[in-house]
Structure 1
């Protein structure tokens, strides 16, 4: 499965067509939040409708919680607190972010995130397939530096040994690909600035191989 991963378009979708052209053949799209820039919610449809492939999306902290209704009725798949299995890979998702200093519209307490992700991962493990986590916020301590401060989510870090891949965003200056424990973490960078990632998921001898690269248009 070949995936185009984007994050943080913030309502600016001007680079999407160029991303698709550079990406070539893809099987799915993952959107890691901040789809809009504090609304309007309906802009999510404008983005999702740009893709012919299946779209898995979570909102970010700069989206209003009401965007969940738009995602539910869109042609994409609302992955917030949701699970879907595609090609013997189980995808789970949590949108919004852990608390920030800015009191943005879609923030969840760590305890709530922990409860949601614990339940999702437990349910996903029952499928017996490798697990991919789509979030907006990164796991604590990985691709989450703002200056010399870590601002990621503890609840996601607690599942590094259980999920094979985390696609996240949120921290604009932390674009990158890191492997920690047995988990690959990808922050594609700001889609509003032309950044994205291509992720290939390959089944090999009962294992899931993950090959990720960053692209820029």
Structure 2
């Protein structure tokens, strides 16, 4: 999915599950993958994804872990060592790129506690793997994440995880919620 924001093009997708090389590629300013690049911690799929993603034609590359990146949960140091220098792993922090503020909290499924991320600026894009409760979630979204999104009011909340609602969006108040899952069972 391509989003035009502040004169920048942003490509964003999630849930490729080892099929990333089947995606059509468009040169953009920023590319974001919102998790489940592999299936069930498959390191062959994940290292192939990192090779492919590091060569994606974009100035900035952001990655947020999904529930299938079990490597991050089981061995975080080893997981981070896999990343080429040109890919930014974003979790529980914010970053400003090209004047656009991105923030990510670890909502791979449901958050176990309210996020404790310091946000000094308005969030343009909140990036998570899973959706908030009641928004394109097939009744599987996170209620704590919904409270967090309501509080910070990002311009966009981008997520995946729920394959059936992939490619859809919903505007609620001042936030556009987008499920960018590309995997279709």
TM-score above 0.5, yes or no: yes
Aligned length: 165
Structure 1 segment 23-34 matched on structure 2, within 5 A: 25-34=27-36
Deviation at 1:86, TM superposition (A): 1.4
Contact 2:28 2:57 in 1 (8 A): no
Ranges of 4+ aligned residues in structure 1 off by more than 3 Å: 70-74
Unaligned runs of 5+ in 1: 100-108, 194-217
Q: Which has the higher contact order (CA 8 A, sep 6+)?
A: 1
Structure 2 unaligned regions, length at least 5: 1-7
Structure 2 counterpart of 1:168, from 159, 174, 177: 159
Equivalent positions of 1:35-46 (< 5 A) are 35-38=37-40, 39-40=42-43, 41-46=46-51
Normalising by structure 2, what TM-score?
0.79
Residue 8 of structure 1 is matched in structure 2 by: 15
Q: Of Structure 1 and Structure 2, which has the larger fraction of its residues in strand?
A: 1
Deviation of 1:15 (Å)? 2.0
Return the alpha-carbon distance in structure 2 between the equivalents of residues 96 and 71 of structure 1.
22
> Hey, what's the Cα distance between the residues in 2 that align with 1:94 and 1:71?
21
What aligned pairs does 1:175-214 form with structure 2 within 5 A after superposition? Answer: 175=166, 176-190=168-182, 192=183
3-state SS, counterpart of residue 160 of structure 2: coil
**Normalization by structure 1: what TM-score?**
0.68
Distance in 2 (CA, whole Å) between partners of 1:14 and 1:153 is 30
Against the structure 1 CA distance between its residues 151 and 71, is the aligned structure 2 distance closer, same or farther, given a 3 Å change threshold? farther
RMSD of aligned alpha carbons: 2.1
